Amino acid sequence: MIRRPRPPHTPRGLGLIELLIALVIAAFLLWGLFAIYYSSALGSVAQQAEAALDDNIRTAVTLLTTDARQAGYRAILTEDPSQIFTQIPANEADPTAWLATGSHPVMLGTWHGSPAPPYGFAVSFQSNGVMQNCLGQTVPFGDIDTDEWELDKSTKQLECRSFIAAGGIGSWQGYTPLVNNVEAMVVRLGLDTQSTGSVDVYAYPGKTIQWNQVRALQIGLILASGDAASPDGTIGDVLTNPASENFNLLGDPIASPLDRYLRAAVVRDITLRNVVSYYRHNPGGQ
């Protein structure tokens, strides 16, 4: 009996249903990989924005605290403060806040926005030769430096300018931006109205302030992540959905815009040791 060889087996291709199943499985796997990547990318952006925000907060608090604590320092104790601390200008929105008198040597000043609460302050000190102004410049021994801080609300930048006077002669430098993405700034004075040696009330400065009661400076800030001037979802796009938040900054209600940026409110109480010391020895100063 003669056996005829079987024809070779011809492989059969995938059917339409099998192909569709394979495509669905592949799409599901790709979707999972994309979801993991997207989640990781968002987490990375959020971490970077949060780190940048924390760094901005740390920079702003350090600069403001360091400078404010120098208010009223005298390198030459025999000099009368009322004669040397005279450089704080009276050309801001509310010049009456300065109240420069013989008993108040203007070691510290704040001013009002209009109609907003105070959004800036200035400090004066007599350098010991190693002290620096707000711009990081070393002030020569015996010279009087005044640093004036303000928030430029149009650019959302915390700025400072300096006046270094030698023998009463000097000139103002231009404002220098030092911290970006600062959306609000409020300043109040801590007062000891009960003569207990500690702050018992915080108040906005004005004609009624008795400067011999000043013990501290209170500064409130609201800072945002990323480029807060361009909330279009390209830079600093941190939150999945647009969000807004209402802040109460030292009694001043502030509403944040509807965008995707992280924000933080910071309040710093700064003891003014040199100012306290001066008025402790000059209790009649007003």
pLDDT digits (tens, 9 = 90+) for 126-153: 999 999 999 999 999 999 898 989 888 8
Q: What is the pLDDT of residue 271?
A: 93
At position 77, the amino acid (one-letter code) is L
At position 246, the amino acid (one-letter code) is N
**DSSP one-letter code for 211:** G
Q: What is the pLDDT of residue 89?
A: 59
Tokens 């009456």 found at: 96
Cβ atoms < 10 Å from Cβ of 132: 16
Describe the strand order of the beta sheet including 214-224 as a list of residue ranges.
Answer: 201-203, 182-191, 214-224, 263-271
Instruction: Yes or no: say if 97 and 115 are a contact pair by the CB < 8 Å rule.
Output: no
Cβ atoms < 10 Å from Cβ of 27: 10
Of 215, 281, 286, 251, the C-alpha closest to 74 is 281
Which of 68-97 are b and which e, b meaning 16 or more Cβ less than 10 Å from the residue's Cβ? bbbbbbbbeeeeebbebbebbbeebebeeb
Helix H or strand E segment including 21: helix 16-68
Helix H or strand E segment including 252: strand 252-255
Q: What is the pLDDT of residue 152?
A: 87
How many Å apart are CA 256 and CA 223, to the nearest integer?
Answer: 10
Beta strand pairing call for 157-165 and 176-180: antiparallel
Q: Taking the domains of the chain in order of start, what are their residue ranges?
A: 49-281
Computed from CA positions of residues 84, 103, 269, 263, in that sequence, does the dihedral angle turn out positive or negative? negative
Of 183, 184, 143, the C-alpha closest to 162 is 143
pLDDT 10s digit of each residue in the chain, 286 long?
566 566 555 555 566 777 677 677 777 777 766 666 555 555 556 677 788 888 899 999 999 999 999 998 999 988 888 777 776 655 454 444 455 555 667 787 776 555 455 578 888 899 999 999 999 999 999 998 989 898 888 888 999 988 887 766 777 788 899 999 899 998 888 999 888 888 999 987 665 677 788 889 999 999 988 654 444 445 455 666 667 788 888 888 888 877 778 888 999 999 999 888 887 777 665 5
Cβ atoms < 10 Å from Cβ of 42: 14
Instruction: Yes or no: say if 121 and 105 are a contact pair by the CB < 8 Å rule.
Output: no
pTM of the model: 0.77
Q: Tell me the C-alpha to C-alpha distance, in Å, between residue 173 and each of 59, 133, 168.
A: 22, 12, 16
Rg (CA), the chain: 31
Q: Tell me the C-alpha to C-alpha distance, in Å, between residue 57 and each of 53, 117, 150, 172.
A: 6, 21, 16, 27
Helix H or strand E segment including 31: helix 16-68
Number of H helices, E strands in the chain: 3, 11
Sorted by sequence, the CB contacts under 8 Å of residue 226 that are 6+ apart come out as 49, 52, 181, 235, 236, 237, 238, 261, 262
Reading the block at residue 266, the tokens are: 């910071």
Q: What is the pLDDT of residue 229?
A: 40
